[in-house]
Every structure is written in C-alpha cells, then in structure tokens.
Amino acid sequence: MKFRFPKLHISWLDKRREKREFLKNKIRKRAEVVRKYIQRLANNWPEEYKELCLEELEDVEKTENELINLIDALDNKTIDNLFILSREDTPTHIRDQAIRFIRKHPDKRVQGIARIASWVSIPGFEPPLRKHIKRVEQRRKGASSWKKKKREILKKKRKCEVCGSRENLEVHHLRGLSHESPEDLAVLCRKCHKELHALAETLKWQPYKLRREFRELLKSLEAKGVVEDLEKQAGNKEEHCYLLAYYLLKEKARTS
C-alpha cells in the first residue's frame, strides 16, 4: 500500500508561499504596533524627545524590512518550523521540536522572527522590534525632567501603595511610559514592582499559569465589575494587563 501523508502535512508542504506571506504579515503587524507606541510616546512626552522618537521610527522600518527580506532568504524547513510555532493547535511535542530547531539556527534573527510568530512567549527569544522601544524608554528614564517628576511623586507618596513599605520605593507607570499624568503613576516598593511586572506578563501571555489565589481574586474583581472598567480605561491588551495586575496585588494585600 502506498504511504500517504496526513492532510495537515500535505497542506504545509503545498503552501510554503502562503506561509512566508503569513510570517511577513506577522512582522508587519508587530512593527505597526511598535510604531504606534513610539508615536504615542512622542505625543505625550516633552518636545525635546519628539525628534528622538521620529529617528527611532525610521529604525523600526529598517528592522521590519530586514526581517521581511530574511523570510524570503530562509530555507523551507526553517519556514515550516516558524509556521508551526504560530499555530495554537500545534501539539506540545512538535512545538518543542520546532523551538529546538530554531535555537540551533546560525542566524539569531530567526529567533526574533519566532518570537514574533509564536502565540506564546518563548524563553530566551528576544523580540527584535522591542529594542527600539527600550532605546527610547531608557533615554526618557535618564532625562532630568523625568527625574524631577519622580522626586516630586516620591515626596508626596512616601510608602508602597500595595504593601505599605517605606523602603526601596520606585515609580510605576500604570498604563506604560506614554502616560505620565499623576493619576497614571503609582509608588511601589522594589519587591511589589517586580511582582507586578511578572504578574502582568503572565496575564498577557500565559493566563492559565496564574496561581490559585490570583484566580480567586480575579473572579472577585470580575464580580465587582472592576475588570470591565479597566478594559474601558486601557488603550490595548498590554495596558489592561498591567492595570489588572496592579489591582490584583492591591486586592491581595487588602484581603491578606
């Protein structure tokens, strides 16, 4: 009897062109998200930073074109493995095989494409477009105008808003660095700040890994209508996750 590939495998082999276009669209969409975020920073930050943001927008376009050209140059096996990572219905063992293959690829930019294509986070794979956001954010964090604003906030609020600690206080942006109004800034101790970021990333990428106590608190906030209100306040999924993480930590402190 002649051996037949399963239908799924036949479709993968027959549609490599579509796969390449699919991966390119993933890159384009991610680049557009990054561009919008940097543009929002430019609109909300002092005038002196607008030129910096505009320069970074040009670099985003260069990185986007570089990755799209790389998709055309990659061999079919690499494209197949990148496509496997983009599918939510891929079995875990096949997904793990694809990740191992991508890790061994000599061009590290392929790991960046895998990070963009994948529907969940992959440890050790850096998002290639994230560096543009980091560069802009780091320049802003080191600016004298931000340091002055930070000192003023820490003078007004002398303790962590979650646990009440008065040591190692930091200023947290509730909805991201593009929002610097007083109501969008919170004072947290270093420990709570770190926990909040970890919780927000879990909510964003792997909500099924939430600890039981946070799942119970989330149900409580949903019953009170808080989750729905936060969705209306947030401009996107990332903002919603960070706002929700903040309220979950406050609820945890209140009930413990």
Q: What is the pLDDT of residues 185-212, one digit of tens each?
A: 999 999 999 999 999 989 987 888 899 9
Query: Quick one: pLDDT at residue 5?
Result: 43
- For the record, the structure tokens of 240 come out as 């919603």
Better-predicted residue by pLDDT, 126 or 160: 160
Least confident of 2-16, 46-60, 113-127: 2-16
pLDDT higher than 70, residue 156: yes
Residue 139 lies in a domain: no
Query: Quick one: pLDDT at residue 143?
Result: 67
pLDDT digits (tens, 9 = 90+) for 68-123: 999 999 999 999 999 999 988 888 899 999 999 999 999 999 999 999 998 777 88
**Same domain for 103 and 12:** yes
- Give the domain extent around 172: 146-255
pLDDT higher than 80, residue 124: yes
- For the record, the structure tokens of 24 come out as 């390119």
CA separation, residue 125 to residues 81, 108, 110, 139, 250 (Å): 15, 9, 9, 24, 32
Q: How many CB atoms lie within 10 A of CB 183?
A: 8
- For the record, the structure tokens of 235 come out as 């401009």
Mean pLDDT of the chain: 87
Q: Are 166 and 133 in contact (CB under 8 A)?
A: no
**Same domain for 13 and 116:** yes
Q: Mean per-residue pLDDT for 23-46?
A: 88
Q: Is 32 helix (H, G, I), strand (E, B) or coil?
A: helix
Q: Are 169 and 187 in contact (CB under 8 A)?
A: yes
pLDDT band, residue 138 (cuts 50/70/90):
confident
Query: Quick one: pLDDT at residue 14?
Result: 56
**Same domain for 112 and 39:** yes
Nearest C-alpha neighbor of 176 from the set 167, 186, 166, 168: 186
* 0.85 exceeded by pTM: no
Residue 1 lies in a domain: no
Residue 2 lies in a domain: no
User: Which of 76, 109, 133 is the last residue before a domain boundary?
Assistant: 133
**Same domain for 175 and 86:** no
**Same domain for 169 and 123:** no
User: Which of 93, 109, 133 is the last residue before a domain boundary?
Assistant: 133
**Same domain for 18 and 100:** yes
| Separation of alpha carbons 220 and 225, rounded Å | 9
**Same domain for 161 and 50:** no
Residue 14 phi, psi (nearest 5): -85, -10
| Separation of alpha carbons 188 and 163, rounded Å | 8
Residue 141 lies in a domain: no
**Same domain for 93 and 129:** yes
pLDDT band, residue 213 (cuts 50/70/90):
very high
Better-predicted residue by pLDDT, 14 or 72: 72
Q: Considering its fold, how many domains does the chain have in total? A: 2
**Same domain for 166 and 108:** no
**Beta strand spans in the chain (E):** 169-173, 185-189
Residue 138 lies in a domain: no
**Same domain for 175 and 125:** no
pLDDT higher than 90, residue 256: no
Query: Quick one: pLDDT at residue 135?
Result: 85
Q: Mean per-residue pLDDT for 144-166?
A: 88
**Same domain for 123 and 14:** yes
User: Which of 90, 106, 133 is the last residue before a domain boundary?
Assistant: 133
The percentage of residues in the chain with a pLDDT greater than 70, rounded to a whole number, is 93
Least confident of 34-43, 70-79, 245-254: 34-43
**Same domain for 120 and 154:** no
